[in-house]
Amino acid sequence: MGAITCGTRSGRDYYEVLGVAPDASAEEVKRGYHRLAFQCHPDRNWENEEAHEEMERINEAYAVLSDPIKRREYDLPRGYGRMAPKFKKGSKVKIKADSPSAYRGQIGIVDKEPTKDAFRFWYMASIESRGLTTVRRFAEEELEGLGN
């Protein structure tokens, strides 16, 4: 049985490399990566140099698109991604478990309308803990919505 030939894709657009749309969810990006990695993996295509090169492109694309911060930094200069804030003043939010903040897993309320820098929206959220209210700044990717 012959090896699967992995077609070389033109350009370096990471979404095109993985065969997903720019608005693809993290799960769709992961599925696209796994599908192509299975086809182009060097163990399946050891004699095909193009497959090795394609696998490098696939790995590079997945490394960027699977990381929320790198993906946002990749998307914004290209006009991809959401340009509107995810949360509004008064929204209930939870600090994600993978956030580098000491407030992981706690629930807060967005205090003000978000501010935007070149790569993300920033939110001021008030968090109640042990009878005290703390107001902290969080990047959008550190928060998840809980509904209002």
DSSP 67-97: SHHHHHHHHHHHT-S--S-S--TT-EEEE-T
Summarised one tens digit per residue, pLDDT across range 85-103 is 788 889 999 988 877 778 8
Pick the CATH number of 14-78 from 1.10.357.10, 1.10.287.110, 3.30.360.10, 1.10.3720.10: 1.10.287.110
Name every residue whose Cβ is closer than 8 Å to that of residue 122 and which is 6 or more positions away in sequence. 114, 115, 116, 137, 138, 139, 140
Backbone phi and psi for residue 14, each to the nearest 5 degrees, phi listed first: -65, -35
Question: From the first residue on, what is the mean pLDDT of each consecutive set of 10 residues in the chain (148 residues)?
Answer: 42 85 86 90 79 89 90 79 76 85 87 82 88 88 79
Structural domain spans, the chain: 14-78, 92-147
pLDDT for residue 50: 84
Token duo for residue 42: 């060097």
Q: Count the residues in the chain.
A: 148
